[in-house]
Amino acid sequence: MSEQDDESTESMRSNATGSVAFVLTFGDFDDQSCRVIVVDWWGVGGQLRSQYSPCWRLIRVDPMSRVHLFEFNDQSWLPEAWRRYITEYLQFMLEHGPFDELPALIARVVDGADEPRIVDLCSGSGGPWPTYLEEPLTEFEGVEVLLTDLHPHREAFERIERRTEGRATGHEAPIDATDVPADVEGRRTIINGLHHFQPEQARAILADAVEKGVSIGVFEIMDRRAVSLIPLVLIPLFVLFLTPFVRPFRVGRLLWTYLLPVIPLMIFWDGLVSALRVYSPEELRVLVADFDDYEWEIDSVPAGKGPQRITYLIGEPQRS
């Protein structure tokens, strides 16, 4: 490499701290062609883990700006009852929130499918599916949904199966989104779930879909803009107001919401951290840069009324 390349690489190393994903853009200044790859820098005196040809010229290095702090709901030590209180509240908000544009986006994952079946990953307590399927929206007529999770909420899955008359069913065994069993067939969705994963894991989720040749849609109803982050300070008040309407009714939920307000504080923290973790469209493009055999649509659109936006990725095998 040239001295300029060495200086650019040293600049990247000096600015790297911790575990960071970088976008390296290489190309020819004359024809403006470029290639994007992902490099992990662990900040412990190691070397760059990716190999690249010395004939490529290093133009710039841009770090991912998402912040991956911890969330209570991700922790294995979290009491199962508390996990249910959190996911049931989130499921309530997905069902009743002002996210008018979400159904049409999700439905595009199964456009053209002969047997429209969705495998929903990281389902939590079921997401918006009860509302979409109980009296099927036009977009989901004839669609079947399999709910899956690493920590399957079987009670919630059974409740949703009854509400939807079997149009949505739950997978009883834990499902790792980075390695979905081959016999779990269907086009995949992840709704408000990809932000739980570090870049390496998120890429593995997408790679698993590509390896198995199935379409996948990722949808996040939040983003890192200040106009979206500031209203999050009201989350504890929303939890206090809406808890009586969350079903099923649980005495423990009332105890840990009103007498000892652990749940409102956890939901507030997890909501704030989730927004800071969300992958931007540019970062999603980095994650799928190597998957040339797929067509990717990546964008951010208004969710409906209010400041929220839906950041989404839809990928499908290229049509021959």
Q: What is the pLDDT of residue 319?
A: 82
Lowest mean pLDDT segment, chosen from 40-54, 146-160, 226-240: 40-54
User: What are the tens digits of pLDDT across the range 115-131?
Assistant: 899 999 999 999 999 99
pLDDT band for position 211 (50/70/90)? very high
- Going from N- to C-terminal start, the domains of the chain cover 3-63, 72-317
User: What are the tens digits of pLDDT across the range 269-288?
Assistant: 999 999 999 999 999 999 99
Q: State the average pLDDT over residues 202-211.
A: 98
**Each residue of 168-186: b (16+ CB within 10 Å) or e?**
bebbeeebebbebeeebeb
Q: What is the pLDDT of residue 98?
A: 82
CA distances from 69 to 82, 119, 152, 169 (A): 19, 28, 24, 32
- Backbone φ and ψ for 27, nearest 5 degrees, come out as 175, -175
CA distances from 203 to 58, 192, 209 (A): 23, 16, 10
Strand pairing class (117-121; 20-27): unpaired
Q: What is the pLDDT of residue 305?
A: 79
Question: Is the pLDDT confidence value at 261 over 50?
Answer: yes
Among 48, 65, 54, 49, smallest CA distance to 26 is for 54
CATH homologous superfamily of 72-317 equals Vaccinia Virus protein VP39 (3.40.50.150)
| Average pLDDT score over the chain | 83
CB 297 within 8 A of CB 314: yes
Q: State the average pLDDT over residues 130-142.
A: 90
Question: Is the pLDDT confidence value at 6 over 80?
Answer: no
Q: What is the pLDDT of residue 9?
A: 40
Lowest mean pLDDT segment, chosen from 76-85, 95-104, 201-210, 212-221: 95-104
Among 279, 277, 281, 278, smallest CA distance to 300 is for 281
Can you give the pTM of this predicted structure? 0.79
Q: What is the pLDDT of residue 64?
A: 64
More confident residue, 306 or 169: 169
Q: Six-digit token pair at 148?
A: 């899956």
Handedness of CA 32, 37, 40, 46 (dihedral sign): negative
Q: What is the pLDDT of residue 7?
A: 45
More confident residue, 262 or 12: 262
Question: Is the pLDDT confidence value at 40 over 50?
Answer: no
Question: Is the pLDDT confidence value at 34 over 50?
Answer: no
DSSP code string of 67-131: -----GGG-TTS-HHHHHHHHHHHHHHHHHSS-TTHHHHHHGGGTT-SS-EEEEES-TT-TTHHH
More confident residue, 279 or 7: 279
Question: Is the pLDDT confidence value at 312 over 60?
Answer: yes
- Backbone φ and ψ for 187, nearest 5 degrees, come out as -75, 140
Q: State the average pLDDT over residues 80-97.
A: 93
